[in-house]
Structure 1
């Protein structure tokens, strides 16, 4: 199983953030129906003013779990993800994607 952590950095401005957030609201139910998708969760910064917290940025973090790289690649090529990309292209400044696996096994 793969864990995907995607950091999506938006251009400054509330409208860009809302554009991306609304696009995720639309696409998430479709993604969760895809074969090989175990989870697809969106997280945003909570500004706690804690001294140890990184300064909140204009970003969204996606935590995803996929059965395999092939399933993830199929996901990226679906019609709904292509439509999502078109909707958010002017709002997104940068996307960083990390594909990971569990580092400590409990065996």
Structure 2
């Protein structure tokens, strides 16, 4: 009986992994067809540039001031390139950029 349960569990696990793989592949295809992946990549790139510039130029400023300046600069760059972004999306992109920058600084320090 245990062997049957183990075989059944193994088959279900394999099926679940396969279904997740197919779903992810379909999601990527859908996003690429809609051009959303490229737009998101462009938004991320422009926000990264703004965050890095603010970090270098405003080293002595506090976090809140840096955040507001990064938002303004990122919005300018995004608007110049015809990319629209919501406030929540902009906040998430900035947070992700800051985290990536901090993570890379930690790796360099180690």
- Normalising TM by the smaller chain, what interval? 0.3 to 0.5
Give the TM-score taking structure 2 as reference length: 0.32
TM-score by length of 1: 0.32
- More helix per residue: 1 or 2? 2
